[in-house]
Amino acid sequence: MELDLTDSALDLKATTPLELEEIFEDPFAIRFLPDADRADGESRFYILGRTVQDRHLFLAFSTNGKIARVAAARDMTDSELRFYQRNYGEIK
């Protein structure tokens, strides 16, 4: 899946494009099902993942199956981090 940051409102100094790509490539990332069907054919997902530098991020993105557009990125909250670590521990 290709990452499209064109016309993105993200602060790319706080979260770099490389970090965003690493979240999508995290084999232990947790993706949540789409929130609802949309008229434009894209689905919106949420993902919890970890970068190579051990930064834990939450992303909200939409995709048409080929291109992903990140709408929001932030550090995980404490409860999200515990959820991710609990699931990561079960997979390991």
The tally of domains found in the chain comes to: 1
- Written as tens digits, the pLDDT of the chain (92 aa) is 789 998 888 888 899 999 999 999 999 999 997 766 666 667 789 999 999 999 999 999 988 888 999 999 999 999 999 999 998 775 54
CA distance 72 to 74: 7
Domain span holding position 16: 2-91
pLDDT at 84: 94
45 Cβ contact list (under 8 Å, min separation 6): 31, 32, 33, 34, 35, 60, 61, 62, 63
pLDDT at 41: 63
